[in-house]
């Protein structure tokens, strides 16, 4: 029987390139055959665990040779060929193809999956799987925008060191430490887990067509109004063929108007108002299937069980976070948590936070739900209960701060968080740490809002707004059709806009028609520049380049940098069509990075930020060229 080895190490830095590739390939589907879900051994192949004996053998005498070599146990080679006949490169472990950053991200996921399988005693069982592992594998091979992917803390036990004394390349003067920890309050919640997904206030009216009494004549039907800037002279003859006739709109009664205002088409079969579907999370909470419990380290058995459940949940759902780091924060006596508990002691969701009552804010550390329950609305429900819990437990605390990964920004925005930090920096600086790879966000609670009754509050606001709209709007008034477009009217008759019933009542003037300009659609190049600039501005390393450098903060900057440039200036130039080509846009972006490297020392945080963003721009340009080729 053939024997192969599988690495047991759970540290990405301790793995050799071959070991890392094997771990990634095990959990990635084969791109060559399409049927293999991951690299696995063939029938008759025995896989053993490489628990480090290879290093102990070669560490001392292996490189010099030894008379005892014959007594050493044989070292089987690592598994490198799948039962499907393909290697690690076809199973998502081709670093040259996917890039170093994506390669390391997949390796982090693969290590976390192996850790979970090790806990179950299934590390060498290549056929084993469970919902959590399947969820991690799906996120490993394709991370959706709405999925939260927290970053791994770097040297989180070390103190922050002061940066080298150098000036930034932007107007942001709040200097983050160059050596930042990378713990970000993330969740595995998707952007669809949101309680604010309301239906539109009104939908398009499906117009009723009366039965035709005679066959439709050619050219009859719906008339499209020509552009105002090319309107023919009143009562004159047009030099173009007349368009199809206008169809007279049916008048709507009050009942139809009310239904239209609530988002129901007027010709819908049912007359009942739309019913908001209750989410599964709310149903389970009402029926007692789940409970939301506050948890802290009071050393009571019940609390320790729940805290251990939270630790396990965060470790499974946040694969890029070190396990010991998560455990240390969960069991910290200064941490508090809310846990979603199902049927006793099973933790299926949780939020870990650190309150600072004397400063008036709380820091959200971790936020996650079990992968199998993410579609039930647990995330939005947990955030609402968290806000009300804070209001009850800490009446003077109205602000929340969190560091959100770029993937999580959208989710937190839906929960009321904003990138605009209105809380004075002196209030929170020094109490929460700056973290690399995250965007700081803030949420401020409204005193008059009961967050557990949002649905009713929003419904009342919608009713009030629609009532005001009905009082002021004249959109329900239907004027009779113009006689020039009625059946039997002569062909080729034009209409003066001033004679159109209801047009003057809207405030229309003839000068509006003269000033109208035809909208020019954006070119593919413009779309690319818009997207690239937006991605640059939202990048977690972009903070030094968002605004121009202030001469007051850096007096000698303009003596050294003769052509300053920043992202806000690029945005202004892009909005005013100053970039004729993508090359002009990229040249300005490179100017930003060159200026930064010119002014700042090589070991400064600003120099590193410039290198990171320039690499990002180059990758985007390569992808664009690949798509167009």
Return mean pLDDT, the chain.
76
Cα–Cα distance for residue pair 513/545, rounded to 1 Å: 42
Per-residue three-class SS string for 172-235 = CCCCCCCCCECCCCCCCCCCCCCCCCCCCCCCCCCCCCCCCCCCCCCCCCCCCCCCHHHCCCCC
Average pLDDT of the residues in 84-102: 88
CA 532 – CA 613 distance, rounded (Å): 11
The pLDDT of residue 514 is 64
> CB neighbours of 438 closer than 8 A, spacing ≥ 6?
151, 182, 184, 403, 404, 405, 540
> Cα–Cα distance between 122 and 549 in angstroms, integer?
56
Using CA atoms, how far residue 149 sits from 37, 94, 106, 192, 613, in Å, is 23, 21, 12, 16, 19
Using the predicted structure, report yes or no on whether residue 201 has a pLDDT greater than 90.
Answer: no
Alpha helix stretches (DSSP H) within 476-604: 510-515, 524-538, 557-560, 567-575, 582-599
3-state DSSP helix/strand/coil percent for the chain, to nearest 5? 40, 10, 50
Number of H helices, E strands in the chain: 19, 8
CB 344 within 8 A of CB 163: no
pLDDT value at residue 52: 57
Residue-wise burial string across 91-123, b where 16 or more C-beta atoms lie within 10 A, e elsewhere: bbbbbeeeeeeebebbbbbbbbbbebbeeeebb
Q: Which residue has the higher pLDDT, 518 or 396?
A: 396
Contact between 404 and 184 under an 8 Å Cβ cutoff? The reply is yes
State the average pLDDT over residues 464-490. Answer: 79
For residue 117, what pLDDT band results from cuts at 50, 70 and 90? confident
In this model, does residue 564 exceed pLDDT 60? yes
Considering the chain, what percentage of its residues have pLDDT values greater than 70?
A: 72
- Long-range pairs for 583-587: beta carbons < 8 A, 24 or more residues apart: 585/529, 585/532, 585/533, 586/617, 586/621
Q: What is the CA angle 541-545-548, rounded to 5? A: 160
Element at 23 (helix H, strand E): helix 17-26
3-state secondary structure of 109: helix
Compute the distance between CA of residue 532 and CA of residue 586 in angstroms, rounded to an integer: 10
481 vs 153: which has the higher pLDDT: 481
Q: For residue 397, what pLDDT is reported?
A: 92
Residue 338 to residue 483: CA distance in whole angstroms: 68
Q: How many CB atoms lie within 10 A of CB 184?
A: 30
Question: What is the rounded average pLDDT of the residues 81-89?
Answer: 89
User: Binning pLDDT at 50, 70 and 90, where does residue 254 land?
Assistant: low
Q: Are 449 and 461 in contact (CB under 8 A)?
A: no
Provide the pLDDT for residue 572.
93
Other C-beta atoms closer than 10 Å to the C-beta of 63 total 7
Torsion of CA 490, 492, 493, 494, to 10 degrees: 160
| Alpha carbon distance 175, 450 (integer Å) | 37
Report the distance separating Cα 91 and Cα 379, nearest Å: 33
- For 201, other C-beta atoms within 10 Å of its C-beta total 13
Highest mean pLDDT among 155-169, 470-484, 574-588: 574-588
pLDDT tens profile 416-441: 999 889 999 889 988 887 766 678 89
CB 624 within 8 A of CB 590: no
Q: What CA–CA distance (Å, rounded) separates 51 from 243?
A: 80
* Element of type H or E holding 463: helix 454-472
Cβ within 8 Å of residue 499, ≥6 positions away: 234, 482
Instruction: Enumerate the β-bridge partners of residue 141.
Output: none
Mean of pLDDT values over 462-473: 85
The secondary structure of residue 170, as a DSSP letter, is S
Give percent of the chain above pLDDT 90.
28
**CA–CA gap between residue 457 and residue 449 (Å, rounded):** 8
Q: pLDDT tens digits for 493-513?
A: 777 777 788 887 777 777 776
**Mind listing the pLDDT tens digit for each residue in 518-530?**
555 678 899 999 9
Q: What is the CA radius of gyration of the chain?
A: 32
The helix (run of H) or strand (run of E) holding residue 402 is: strand 399-404
Question: Is the pLDDT confidence value at 610 over 90?
Answer: yes
List, in order, residues 6 or more apart from 471 with CB less than 8 Å away. none
Catalytic residue among 90, 284, 363, 436: 363
Contact yes or no for 596/610 (Cβ under 8 A):
yes
Residue range 45-56: average pLDDT?
67
Does position 553 have pLDDT exceeding 90, yes or no?
no
pLDDT score recorded for residue 373: 79
Res 586: pLDDT: 94
Least confident span in 24-28, 57-61, 299-303 = 57-61
How far is the C-alpha of 58 from the C-alpha of 269, rounded, in Å?
A: 79
Q: How many CB atoms lie within 10 A of CB 5?
A: 19
Sheet holding 361-369, edge to edge: 290-296, 336-342, 346-356, 361-369, 399-404, 439-444
45-50 vs 361-369, strand pairing mode: unpaired
pTM of the model: 0.50
Instruction: Enumerate residues 6+ apart whose C-beta is below 8 A from 350.
Output: 295, 309, 310, 313, 314, 337, 338, 339, 340, 366, 367, 368, 369, 382
**pLDDT higher for 263 or 432?**
432
> At a CB cut-off of 8 Å and minimum separation 6, what does 362 contact?
353, 354, 355, 356, 390, 394, 397, 399, 400, 401
Active site residue 363: yes
pLDDT digits (tens, 9 = 90+) for 313-371: 998 888 877 889 899 999 999 999 999 999 878 999 999 999 999 999 999 999 988 87
Which of the residue ranges 184-188, 313-317, 387-391, 539-543 has the most confident prediction, judged by mean pLDDT? 387-391
Is pLDDT larger for residue 153 or for residue 294? 294
Check whether 166 has a pLDDT greater than 80. no
Cα gap 157→177, rounded to integer Å: 15
Cβ(567)–Cβ(574) under 8 Å?
no
Q: How far apart are CA 106 and CA 100, in angstroms?
A: 10
Q: What angle do CA 386, 392, 398 make, to 5 degrees?
A: 70
SS (H, E, C) 324-342: HHHHHHHCCCCCEEEEEEE
Check residue 548 and give its pLDDT.
92
């Amino acid at each position: 029987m053939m024997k192969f080895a599988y690495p047991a190490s759970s540290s990405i830095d301790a793995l050799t390139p071959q070991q890392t590739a094997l771990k990634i390939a095990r959990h990635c589907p084969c791109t060559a055959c399409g049927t293999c879900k991951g690299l696995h051994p063939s029938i008759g192949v025995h896989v053993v665990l490489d628990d480090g004996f290879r290093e102990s053998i070669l560490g001392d005498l292996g490189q010099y040779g030894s008379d005892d070599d014959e007594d050493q146990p044989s070292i089987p080679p690592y598994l490198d060929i799948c039962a499907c006949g393909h290697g690690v490169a076809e199973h998502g472990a081709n670093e040259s193809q996917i890039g170093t950053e994506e390669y390391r991200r997949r390796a982090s996921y693969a290590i976390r999956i192996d850790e979970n399988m090790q806990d179950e005693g299934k590390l060498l069982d290549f056929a084993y799987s469970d919902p959590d592992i399947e969820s991690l594998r799906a996120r490993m091979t394709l991370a959706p925008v709405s999925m939260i992917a927290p970053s791994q803390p770097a040297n989180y036990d070390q103190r922050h060191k002061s940066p080298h004394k150098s000036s930034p390349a932007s107007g942001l003067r709040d200097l983050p430490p160059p050596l930042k920890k990378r713990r970000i309050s993330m969740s595995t919640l998707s952007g669809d887990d949101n309680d604010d997904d309301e239906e539109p206030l009104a939908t398009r009216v499906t117009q009723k067509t009366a039965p035709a009494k005679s066959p439709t004549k050619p050219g009859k039907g719906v008339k499209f109004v020509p552009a105002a800037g090319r309107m023919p002279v009143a009562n004159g003859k047009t030099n173009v063929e007349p368009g199809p006739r206008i169809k007279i709109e049916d008048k709507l009664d009050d009942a139809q108007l009310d239904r239209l205002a609530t988002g129901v088409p007027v010709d819908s079969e049912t007359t009942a108002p739309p019913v908001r579907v209750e989410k599964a999370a709310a149903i389970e909470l009402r029926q007692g299937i789940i409970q939301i419990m506050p948890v802290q380290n009071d050393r009571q058995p019940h609390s320790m069980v729940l805290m251990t459940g939270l630790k396990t949940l965060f470790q499974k759902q946040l694969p890029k976070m070190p396990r010991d780091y998560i455990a240390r924060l969960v069991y910290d006596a200064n941490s508090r948590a809310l846990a979603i508990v199902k049927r006793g002691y099973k933790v299926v969701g949780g939020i870990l936070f650190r309150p600072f009552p004397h400063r008036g804010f709380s820091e959200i550390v971790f936020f996650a739900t079990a992968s199998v329950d993410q579609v039930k609305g647990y995330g939005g429900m947990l955030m609402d209960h968290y806000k009300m819990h804070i209001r009850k437990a800490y009446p003077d605390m109205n602000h929340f701060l969190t560091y959100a990964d770029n993937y999580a920004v959208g989710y937190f925005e839906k929960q009321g968080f904003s990138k605009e930090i209105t809380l004075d920096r002196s209030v929170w600086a020094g109490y929460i740490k700056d973290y690399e790879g995250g965007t700081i966000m803030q949420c401020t609670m409204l005193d008059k809002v009961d967050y557990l009754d949002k649905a009713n509050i929003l419904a009342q606001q919608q009713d009030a707004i629609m009532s005001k709209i009905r009082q002021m709007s004249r959109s329900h008034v239907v004027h009779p059709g113009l006689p020039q477009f009625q059946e039997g009217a002569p062909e080729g008759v034009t209409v003066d806009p001033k004679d159109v019933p209801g047009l003057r009542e809207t405030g229309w003037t003839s000068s509006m028609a003269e000033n109208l300009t035809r909208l020019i659609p954006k070119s593919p190049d413009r779309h690319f520049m818009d997207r690239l600039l937006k991605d640059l501005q939202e990048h977690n390393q972009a903070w030094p380049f968002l605004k121009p450098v202030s001469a007051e903060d850096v007096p000698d900057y303009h003596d050294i940098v003769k052509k300053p440039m920043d992202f806000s200036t690029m945005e202004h130039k892009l909005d005013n069509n100053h970039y004729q080509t993508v090359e002009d846009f990229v040249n300005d972006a490179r100017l930003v990075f060159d200026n930064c490297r010119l002014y700042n020392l090589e070991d400064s945080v600003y120099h590193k930020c410039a290198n990171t963003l320039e690499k990002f721009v180059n990758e985007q340009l390569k992808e664009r060229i690949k798509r167009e080729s």
